[in-house]
Homo-oligomer: A and B are copies of this chain.
């Protein structure tokens, strides 16, 4: 803690004592009114409420937190909140948390290495939040830092799976659906543009693609690899579209798939006539791509809700959630215009 804030406390607002004074009651009675206890005479309650209103009183959450040992806040740790997947998950976590009376405190991990994560956890952990949600922890492993004991944690799409309860889309089935759909259209094989090697969902999709092809008696070709961004999809795409033998590509997410589409246009390779493309996520814009993108939809909304549920359940009843519990959310193959049978040879 290097910063110097707090050296000159900012002007504090009215406290429970101020309200009590104005209303002519004790602080405890004010507390009771604030907490909606039922053993307060209506007349008294009214007087207190008016005093609160007049002073603009709001309970001091720090004091409450100190007293109760609870913060009313859930920590959310991620590398970034700007990418589609994270943004959607964040939004749904916020909504679900708020429905339960919790707010959400964000912390971005700046340095991808374990140190950054350690720092983030240090800052959020244990004392500032009642529980922790970790999404897309890609670059570090659970051994690299210790979380305070007893702090409820839930993770999504991260390498912490198996160490903490986890929520995630059914990557395996979603991938199989996509690959088998392409094979069903008549493609001889399906190529793969994967996500970064340190990402759990990327590797799971990669592995499932691999297994599905093998299951169909096809020897899997070499994979391309991107970093989830459209830019990386475009760059890999330039190589992919230059290879005329490629007729179908399963791309690990929609952003990269859209980048690939762009590369195809640029090279004059027609989608889906010459090349079929399937993405993963079903982000809003996929529907409006040219052509509209066939993709595997995952339910970010539900993921957020489940993450919050897992944390709050641990909070309510410690030990009620197994550390290796996995919530697998079904995916749906959304067929649009970017897939078709392979071109006649």
Residues on A close to B: CB < 8 A?
Answer: 1-3, 5-6, 9-13, 34-36, 56, 58-73, 80-82, 87-88, 90-91, 94-95, 98, 100-108, 110, 122-128, 130, 146, 148-150, 229-231, 233-234, 255, 258-259, 261-262, 265, 284-285, 287-292, 315, 318
Residues of chain B lying within 8 A (CB to CB) of residue A258: 285, 288
Pairwise interchain contact A56-B148, C-beta atoms closer than 8 A: yes
Residue in B closest to A59 when the chains form the complex, CB atoms: B127
Determine whether the beta carbon of A5 is less than 8 Å from that of B60.
no
| CB-based contact A130/B5 at 8 Å | yes
Which residues of chain B are near A34, meaning CB under 8 Å?
1
Q: How many Å lie between the Cα of A106 and that of B95 in the bound state?
A: 10
Closest B residue to A122 by CB, please name it. Answer: B58
CB distance from A37 to the nearest CB of B (A): 12
Q: Which residue of B lies closest to A81 (CB)?
A: B91
Q: Are B1 and A101 in contact (CB under 8 A)?
A: yes
Bound CA–CA A127/B261 (angstroms): 49
Q: How far is the CB of A69 from chain B (nearest CB, A)?
A: 3
CB nearest to A301 among chain B residues: B82
**Contact call A62/B59, Cβ cutoff below 8 A:** no
Contact B69–A80 (Cβ < 8 Å): no
Partner of A6, one of B1, B64, B106: B64
Q: Could you tell me the distance in whole angstroms from the C-beta of A296 to the nearest C-beta in chain B?
A: 18
Complex-state Cα separation, A134 to B290, whole angstroms = 36
Given contacts A5-B130, A258-B288, 12 further A-B contacts (CB under 8 A): A2-B101, A5-B315, A10-B70, A60-B127, A62-B71, A81-B87, A94-B106, A95-B108, A98-B107, A104-B106, A104-B107, A265-B290
Identify the closest chain B residue to A237 (Cβ): B288
A339 to B259 alpha-carbon distance, docked (Å): 20
Q: Are B255 and A126 in contact (CB under 8 A)?
A: no
A61 proximity list for chain B (CB < 8 A): 65, 71, 127-128
Instruction: Give 21 A-B contacts (CB < 8 Å), ordered by A residue.
Output: A3-B101, A3-B102, A5-B72, A10-B70, A10-B318, A11-B150, A13-B150, A58-B122, A58-B126, A58-B148, A62-B62, A62-B128, A73-B105, A81-B94, A103-B106, A104-B106, A231-B287, A233-B288, A255-B284, A262-B288, A289-B290
Given contacts A10-B315, A285-B255, are A91 and B68 in contact (CB under 8 A)? no
* Min C-beta distance of A93 to chain B, whole Å: 9
- Which B residues lie within 8 Å of A315 (CB)? 5, 10
Identify the closest chain B residue to A99 (Cβ): B110
